[in-house]
Amino acid sequence: VIDVLVVTIVRAMAVATPLLWASIGETYAERSGVVNLGVEGMMVIGAFVAFVVAHATGQPYLGLAAAGIGGGVAAWVHGFVSVTLRANQYVAGLALAMVGLGVTGVLGRGWEGIPLDATLPEISLITYLGVAVAVASWFVLHHTGPGIVIRSVGESPAAAAALGINVTRVRYLCVVVGGVLAGVGGGFLSVAYRPSWTEGMSGGLGWIALAITIFAAWDPVRVVGGAVFFGALFHLSFRLQGAVAPELLRMMPFASTIVVLALTARQRRGQGGPEALGMPYTPGER
Amino acid sequence: VGPVQFEAAPTAPWTRVLGVSALAFATALAVAGALLLLLGVNPLRAYAVMFGGVLGDARASAEILRQAIPLLLVGVGLVVAFRAQFWNIGAEGQLLAGAVGATAVALFLAVPDRAIIPAMFAAGAVCGAAWGFVPAVLRFTLDVNEVITTLMLNYVAIFGVEWLVHGPWKGQTAFGFAYTDTFRDAAILAVIPGTRIHWVTLLLGVACALGLGWGLARTRLGFEVRVLGQSPTAARYAGMQPFRTTVLVMLASGALAGLAGVGEVAGIHRKLLAPEQVSLGYGYAAIIVAWLARGNPVAAIGTALLLGFIYTAGDAMKVALQVPARVTDVFNGLILLFLIGTERLLAYRVRWAPKPNAARVANRPEAGP
């Protein structure tokens, strides 16, 4: 029984790791008032970059670092379009998701089916580091000066600007940090979870990461819980194979997301998202 | 800035909208060309295939129209949803739901031949509307973000269709393949000979675009949708019911996507098959159709044709240059990105003002606090 439990926890944590990294990243972006729906795109870019670099250098950690850079660059594009150009954040993020999936699909065709020697175990430093980053992020956001700056920019950018805070810079920083974390999460998929590259291998995890961010009420520590919960769901759908049609099992985590968000909606009341979430800020506007 | 002055322009003339959109489109093509260069494909050859090979070829031109059919139906629905500020990202799932509804009627209901096509369209519209209804209700009763729910419902629909074609609905004649039996002849839409244009669906799309264009501009409900989109608070103060309006909008948006799904299974495939074959990402591409149309359902006719062109060009490039099919996604994503990136250009106008004056300083849009 204990063996089963250990296996379950290990497998659940393996799926939870990329979700965890990506959701913490999104928490930073959203706390600063920027929705980035491009998580799926940033993750798949991370997965591709990590695979290519790990394959070329034989260093999985180098691959993950490169994945972080790849995700950060993609997020910077989102920052430029949605913060500097003040475009609609939802549409900008969707465009980023399309571009990420498209570009990696086009460039990655030659890399499909190549085995990777330089891999990480499913539970590695990255998983523990993810939990540590979550706790650290909670501390930063809730108990430090920079955290208050980030949250105030997300709640009321005009008031923050009146206090001399550079709203644009804070938002860029949070969006890019979010992209770096999502990139590492995606990289984990291709060097540890399934050491290989397949087109679109993020497989919807990016969208679930977005849901976890909301589900966790923008709190990094609760994100850990959300990621483990969804990791367990994915594992459960794996364990039930044979009993239920595989297509229905693959549907389950996505359907559960809706159910979970609906069931927890009432508890979340009163601790809704950052006040200025999704709203572009025009300097000088009140 | 020198002798010119920037000032806020509340509405841009349509020539500028067209010009800026064309600029965004051209930039997206240029960036996509750079990517093709990375792949070792000469971008000039790609453009030649794209424009010469597609626009200069009658069969390829007809294919543009056939790709535009689902894009138009879905796009018109999304225009209305976006006007009401409801972020329906779930058209892909709503389209698949419509395809499932039509298939159920075609395969399992004893409907007389004469009534079967209308019955399939009706079933598709109802299923699509149901798929759009859930997020609208969840948003208003429980305040659940519709972006997430509509997206998740896409996956539910995708795996649902996969389950149907692998499992309970798998055809007697399909052997190893994952699709249903072929529809009987009466349940198949007529096409213009020599093409794949199922004209009934096309007419339906054009009629919906015109009808909703009129409805949005001229009816009470259309007015409520527009007010709701611009200011939900104002809508409430004016005694309108945001919940009722949003539900109606989402029923319409979902139903239109459902109709597109009916057209695909009844006009093109003649059976239900794998979800990625039923919809080539039309539900996502239609977001671009709607965004390009800038809130005008009638304009979606033109923008659907443009996206139909991108799809056809992607196919042509896949065949002629052996580039991966994902190249269509690259084009789509980049067009959307540049489209919203250049939107800021519409908000200001440049005026020739050689003499500096006080108004110039006051009107400077980027002036800090």
Kindly tell me if the per-residue pLDDT of A278 is higher than 50: yes
pTM above 0.95, yes or no: no
What pLDDT does B345 receive?
81
The answer to whether the beta carbons of residues A24 and A181 sit under 8 Å apart is yes
B237 pLDDT band (50/70/90 cuts)?
A: confident
How far is Cα A155 from Cα A105, in angstroms, rounded to an integer?
Answer: 37
Instruction: Please provide residue B82's backbone torsions phi and psi, each rounded to the nearest 5 degrees.
Output: -70, -30
Q: What is the pLDDT of residues A192-227, one digit of tens each?
A: 998 899 998 998 999 999 999 988 989 999 999 999
Sign of the C-alpha dihedral computed for residues B265, B269, B273 and B274 taken in this order: negative
Taking CB atoms and an 8 Å limit, are A262 and B138 in contact across chains? yes
What percent of chain A shows pLDDT beyond 70? 98
Query: Once rounded to an integer, what is the mean pLDDT over residues B225-231?
Result: 88
What pLDDT does B140 receive?
87
Contacts of A98 in chain B (CB under 8 A): 284, 329, 332-333, 336
- Residue bearing the bigger pLDDT, B97 or B342: B97
B-chain residue closest to A95, CA distance:
B333
Count the residues in chain B: 369
What pLDDT does B367 receive?
41
Residue from the list B138, B143, B163 with its beta carbon closest to the beta carbon of A247: B163
Tell me how close the Cα of B358 comes to any Cα of chain A, in angstroms: 18
Which of A70-84, B160-174, B344-358: highest mean pLDDT?
Answer: A70-84
How far is Cα A237 from Cα A253, in angstroms, rounded to an integer?
Answer: 8
Taking CB atoms and an 8 Å limit, are A254 and B152 in contact across chains? yes
Unique residue bearing structure tokens 């540049």 = B338
Tell me how close the Cα of A176 comes to any Cα of chain B, in angstroms: 17
How far is Cα A174 from Cα A172, in angstroms, rounded to an integer?
Answer: 6
What pLDDT does A83 receive?
93
Rg (CA), chain B: 22
Taking CB atoms and an 8 Å limit, are A207 and B151 in contact across chains? yes
Tell me how close the Cα of A231 comes to any Cα of chain B, in angstroms: 16
Contacts of A77 in chain B (CB under 8 A): 337
What pLDDT does B346 receive?
81
What pLDDT does B55 receive?
84
The ipTM of this complex is: 0.92
What pLDDT does A27 receive?
96
Tell me how close the Cα of A156 comes to any Cα of chain B, in angstroms: 15
How far is Cα A144 from Cα A148, in angstroms, rounded to an integer?
Answer: 6
Residue from the list A97, A105, A214 with its beta carbon closest to the beta carbon of B145: A214
Please provide the average confidence, as pLDDT, over all residues in chain A. 91
Query: Once rounded to an integer, what is the mean pLDDT over residues B85-93?
Result: 94
Kindly tell me if the per-residue pLDDT of B270 is higher than 90: yes
Neighbouring C-alpha atoms within 13 Å toward the C-beta of B50: 22
Please state at what angle helix B58-83 crosses helix B299-321, rounded to 10 degrees. 130
Residue from the list B155, B160, B369 with its beta carbon closest to the beta carbon of A204: B155
DSSP H or E run through B252: helix B242-263
Please state at what angle helix B91-108 crosses helix B282-292, rounded to 10 degrees. 130
Sign of the C-alpha dihedral computed for residues B290, B129, A90 and A105 taken in this order: negative
B2 pLDDT band (50/70/90 cuts)?
A: low
Kindly tell me if the per-residue pLDDT of A152 is higher than 70: yes
Taking CB atoms and an 8 Å limit, are A105 and B324 in contact across chains? yes
Q: Which of A156, A247, A266, A268 would best serve as a mutation to test chain B binding (most B beta carbons within 10 A)?
A: A247
Kindly tell me if the per-residue pLDDT of B265 is higher than 90: yes
> What b/e readout covers A187-214, taking b as 16+ CB neighbours within 10 angstroms?
bbbbbbbbbbbbbbbbbbbbbbbbbbbb
What pLDDT does B277 receive?
92
Taking CB atoms and an 8 Å limit, are A105 and B336 in contact across chains? no
CB pairs under 8 A between A and B: 149
At A18, which amino acid appears?
Answer: P
Taking CB atoms and an 8 Å limit, are B344 and A98 in contact across chains? no
Taking CB atoms and an 8 Å limit, are B332 and A97 in contact across chains? no
Contacts of B324 in chain A (CB under 8 A): 105-106, 109, 199
A269 pLDDT band (50/70/90 cuts)?
A: low
What pLDDT does A251 receive?
93
What pLDDT does B41 receive?
87
Kindly tell me if the per-residue pLDDT of B4 is higher than 60: yes
Taking CB atoms and an 8 Å limit, are B332 and A199 in contact across chains? no
The answer to whether the beta carbons of residues A201 and A26 sit under 8 Å apart is no
Contacts of B337 in chain A (CB under 8 A): 77, 81, 92, 95-96, 99
Taking CB atoms and an 8 Å limit, are B329 and A105 in contact across chains? yes
Which residues lie below 8 Å from residue B28, measured CB to CB, with a gap of 6+?
B331, B334, B335, B337, B338, B339
B369 pLDDT band (50/70/90 cuts)?
A: very low
Contacts of A87 in chain B (CB under 8 A): 340-341, 343-344
Kindly tell me if the per-residue pLDDT of A74 is higher than 70: yes
Which residues lie below 8 Å from residue B183, measured CB to CB, with a gap of 6+?
B103, B106, B107, B265, B266, B270, B271
What pLDDT does B238 receive?
86
Contacts of A265 in chain B (CB under 8 A): 138, 142-144
The answer to whether the beta carbons of residues A197 and A51 sit under 8 Å apart is yes
Give the tokens for residue B198.
Answer: 């199922």
Query: Once rounded to an integer, what is the mean pLDDT over residues B227-233?
Result: 86
Kindly tell me if the per-residue pLDDT of B348 is higher than 80: no
Residue from the list A101, A105, A211 with its beta carbon closest to the beta carbon of B148: A211
Give the tokens for residue A278.
Answer: 């999704």
Contacts of B287 in chain A (CB under 8 A): 91, 94
Kindly tell me if the per-residue pLDDT of A258 is higher than 90: yes
Cα of A40 vs its chain's centroid, Å: 8
How far is Cα B270 from Cα B265, in angstroms, rounded to an integer?
Answer: 5
Strand, coil or helix: what is B351? strand
How far is Cα B273 from Cα B178, in angstroms, rounded to an integer?
Answer: 6
The answer to whether the beta carbons of residues A201 and A189 sit under 8 Å apart is yes
Return the closest-CA partner of residue B323 out of B27, B47, B24.
B47
The answer to whether the beta carbons of residues B100 and B92 sit under 8 Å apart is no
Q: What is the pLDDT of residues B44-83, one digit of tens each?
A: 998 998 888 888 888 888 999 999 999 999 999 999 999 9
The answer to whether the beta carbons of residues A109 and A52 sit under 8 Å apart is no
Tell me how close the Cα of B206 comes to any Cα of chain A, in angstroms: 25
Contacts of A284 in chain B (CB under 8 A): 367-369
Contacts of A95 in chain B (CB under 8 A): 333-334, 336-337, 340
Taking CB atoms and an 8 Å limit, are B333 and A214 in contact across chains? no
Which residues lie below 8 Å from residue A113, measured CB to CB, with a gap of 6+?
A196
Contacts of A283 in chain B (CB under 8 A): 366, 368-369
Q: What is the pLDDT of residues A89-138, one digit of tens each?
A: 999 999 999 999 999 999 988 888 888 888 888 777 889 999 999 999 99
Give the tokens for residue B204.
Answer: 């339906």
